[in-house]
Amino acid sequence: MIRNYFFVLLSSLFFVVPILSQDADEINNKAAGYLLALAQEKNITKKEFIELKDLFTNVDTDLLETKYHSHNSAFDSLRSHLQKYEKDKIGIDADSSLVLFVDWYLHFQRTFYNYNRKNFFNSSKAKILFFTTSVSCRCTMEMCRKQLIEILNLKKMSGDAYSFLVVDSYWNNDLQLKYESYFAPSVLIFNGSNEILSLIEYDEKMSEKLNESLKKM
């Protein structure tokens, strides 16, 4: 009888405790995977998008504020943006869908900017900080998208070797000012002690130079 009581109590804890319908890190991983699939023009199923959208079903307001340093209205805006993307992507080509989703992905990054920045600099790993922007001229936006894809692909291929931070510098420019990197796209490499090892600014060959710098570490 007592054992049954504890089983019911334990089960209730798993089902009633609300979370940010998984967590911000899982949303980040799912979104990055979906973005890479779009960029590689893979056959993306509805299931992949639904898995991402399902992470927005339940929100714990306290957790959103205390752990993720965000708030309900910001999260609602992000969720509404995802719903708009879902409607707008119908009947358009892969390139156009990619452009729209990158815009949403950067919206996600700025919504959880404070949380991501804190985790990034608290990590003891070598770090890769990528500055992009959601507002600029056409050629810069194209370069930003191209190099964002390269950064996310590097993150996927390197596993847990590095910590990554993607920053939309149009909305969050404090780190650009701090490290005197005034261009987007740009990438900074830090060691585990947060010392800058390399800075690559507005360079078409950013990916090659980044890989060369990482090999020297």
When comparing pLDDT for 48 and 151, which is higher? 151
Boundary of a domain, candidates 62, 93, 116: 116
Phi and psi torsions of 189, nearest 5° = -110, 130
Task: Say yes or no to pLDDT of 20 above 70.
Answer: no
pLDDT band at 133 (very low <50, low <70, confident <90, very high): very high
Residue 60 confidence (pLDDT):
81
Task: Say yes or no to pLDDT of 126 above 70.
Answer: yes
141 domain-assigned? yes
Domain that holds residue 28: 19-116
From CA 119, how far away is CA 30, in angstroms rounded?
Answer: 18
154 contact partners, CB below 8 Å, separation of at least 6? 128, 207, 210, 211
3 domain-assigned? no
Task: Say yes or no to pLDDT of 14 above 50.
Answer: no
Same domain, 95 and 77: yes
Tokens of 80: 């509404």
Phi and psi torsions of 62, nearest 5° = -60, -45
Same domain, 150 and 189: yes
Same domain, 87 and 158: no
Task: Say yes or no to pLDDT of 136 above 80.
Answer: yes
Mean pLDDT, residues 126-132 taken together = 98
Tokens of 13: 């804890």
Mean pLDDT, residues 31-53 taken together = 86
Phi and psi torsions of 78, nearest 5° = -65, -45
168 domain-assigned? yes
Same domain, 201 and 130: yes
The DSSP element (H or E) to which 8 belongs, if any, is helix 2-16
Same domain, 148 and 65: no
7 domain-assigned? no
Boundary of a domain, candidates 73, 91, 116: 116
Mean pLDDT, residues 147-155 taken together = 97
Q: How many helices (H) and strands (E) does the chain have?
A: 10, 4
1 domain-assigned? no
Same domain, 80 and 135: no
Contact 66, 128 (CB under 8 A): no
Residue of 191, 194, 212 lying closest to 203 (CA atoms) = 212
From CA 216, how far away is CA 5, in angstroms rounded?
Answer: 59
Same domain, 69 and 145: no
Same domain, 183 and 159: yes
Residue of 49, 46, 43, 47 lying closest to 31 (CA atoms) = 49
Tell me if residue 58 falls in helix, strand or coil: coil
Write the CATH number for 132: 3.40.30.10
pTM given for the model: 0.88
95 domain-assigned? yes
Residue 43 confidence (pLDDT):
67
From CA 19, how far away is CA 38, in angstroms rounded?
Answer: 28
Mean pLDDT, residues 131-136 taken together = 96
114 contact partners, CB below 8 Å, separation of at least 6? 68, 69, 70
Query: For 181, how many CA atoms within 13 A lie in the half-sphere containing its CB?
Result: 25
41 domain-assigned? yes
Task: Say yes or no to pLDDT of 105 above 80.
Answer: yes
Residue 163 confidence (pLDDT):
97
Same domain, 59 and 143: no
The letter for the amino acid at 178 is K
Number of domains in the chain: 2
Query: Hey, how many other C-beta atoms are within 10 angstroms of the C-beta on 163?
Result: 20
Boundary of a domain, candidates 88, 116, 144: 116
Task: Say yes or no to pLDDT of 36 above 80.
Answer: yes
Residue 22 confidence (pLDDT):
53
Mean pLDDT, residues 210-217 taken together = 90
How confident is the prediction for the chain on average, in pLDDT? 88
Task: Say yes or no to pLDDT of 10 above 60.
Answer: no
